[in-house]
Amino acid sequence: MSDNMVDGLYLMLLGMGTVFVFLGILVVGTTIMSRLVKSMSLPEEMKPVARAQPASSQTEIAMVAAAARAYHDSQ
């Protein structure tokens, strides 16, 4: 092989190795950060609350009617 071909292969391997090492560091750092965040507890006021039950269709109709009435009364 010519010297240019060997230099090109060396440069290619060096570049690919650099990217591989960088991505490995990125994965390790992301994993550590994820575990750190999971280990922290949320303050009491930020904890998720139970969701309310969905409104029935009669309740939805009443809410829409009340909103329409309020809108037309305000004009």
In order along its 75 residues, the chain shows pLDDT tens digits of 789 999 999 999 999 999 999 999 999 999 999 999 888 876 666 667 777 777 678 888 888 899 998 988 887
Whether residue 26 is contained in a domain is answered as yes
Q: Contact at 8 Å (CB) between 41 and 49?
A: no
User: Using CA atoms, how far apart are residues 55 and 38, in angstroms rounded to an integer?
Assistant: 34
* Residue 17: inside a domain: yes
User: In terms of residue numbers, what domain contains 37?
Assistant: 1-41
In a domain, 74, yes or no: no
Residue 32 lies in a domain: yes
pTM: 0.49
Question: Is the CB of residue 63 less than 8 Å from the CB of residue 55?
Answer: yes
Q: How many domains does the chain have?
A: 1
Tell me if 68 is assigned to some domain.
no
